[in-house]
């Protein structure tokens, strides 16, 4: 695929691909998932529609990958060595992202519930890779003795990010970043009564 383009003296494939994802991400966040058609994105990115067809099986697959690419810089996982602080930083960014990108996120996840192809793309291009970033950070913390050895890292991820999605997708109540600190502390230290907590 890419050699043809290089042979014709065009931009390298990587650059074209990044440009398409950038244009698709911009469209997605400003106009929502229904704006992501091959036609519209090709126009916006100054690429040929054929190129898009070659790289993405469906507009949904393109939307999911564009969503991952746009969120990636915002959702970086810090590692300062202090797990609590890093979780708070990352979850605050996540809450801002979720509330800022607002409708786009819920529409994209909503559409994924009704469309198997989009669900697969969303899972493979966004949800599972992002979970892996979190798991790696938590595994490092466990290695450094900041988490119990038998802590289930995937469940921690479900408790933290799942809690935020729960408000947005299921409860449909406002999600505010003021919950983040409490969410992290309850997840790390539990909610058992004080008498059953460590004294030191």
Interface with its own copies by CB under 8 A: which residues? Answer: 106-107, 109-114, 119-120, 122-123, 127-128, 131, 145-149, 151-152, 155-159, 161-167, 169-173, 179, 182-183, 186-194, 196-199
**Closest distance between its own copies and the C-beta of residue 129, in Å?**
11
Burial (CB count within 10 angstroms: exposed 0-12, middle 13-18, buried 19+), residue 81: exposed
Question: Which residues are within 8 A (CB) of 16 and not within 5 positions of it... i.e. 6 or more apart?
Answer: 5, 10, 45, 47, 51
Least distance to its own copies, CB of residue 183, Å: 5
- Min dist CB 11 to its own copies, Å, is 34
Helix axes 38-45, 59-71, angle to 10 degrees: 50
Q: What are phi and psi of 175, to 5 degrees?
A: -105, 120
* 26/131 with CB nearer its own copies: 131
- 46 or 110: CB nearest its own copies: 110
Closest approach of its own copies to the CB of residue 55, in Å: 22
Quick one: DSSP state of residue 123? Answer: I
- Decide whether 6 or 197 has the Cβ nearer to its own copies: 197
């Amino acid at each position: 695929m890419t050699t043809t383009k290089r042979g014709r003296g065009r931009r390298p494939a990587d650059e074209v691909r990044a440009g398409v994802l950038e244009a698709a991400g911009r469209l997605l966040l400003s106009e929502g998932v229904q704006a992501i058609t091959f036609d519209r994105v090709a126009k916006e990115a100054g690429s040929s529609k054929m190129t898009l067809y070659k790289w993405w099986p469906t507009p949904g697959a393109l939307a999911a990958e564009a969503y991952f690419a746009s969120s990636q810089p915002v959702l970086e996982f810090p590692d300062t060595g202090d797990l609590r602080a890093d979780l708070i930083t990352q979850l605050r960014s996540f809450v801002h992202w979720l509330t800022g990108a607002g409708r786009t996120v819920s529409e994209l996840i909503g559409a994924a519930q009704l469309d198997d192809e989009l669900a697969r793309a969303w899972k493979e291009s966004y949800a599972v890779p992002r979970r892996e970033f979190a798991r790696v950070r938590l595994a490092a913390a466990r290695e450094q003795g900041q988490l119990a050895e038998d802590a289930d890292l995937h469940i921690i991820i479900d408790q933290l990010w799942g809690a935020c999605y729960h408000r947005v997708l299921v409860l449909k109540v406002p999600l505010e970043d003021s919950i983040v600190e409490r969410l992290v502390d309850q997840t790390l230290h539990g909610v058992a009564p004080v008498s059953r907590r460590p004294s030191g």
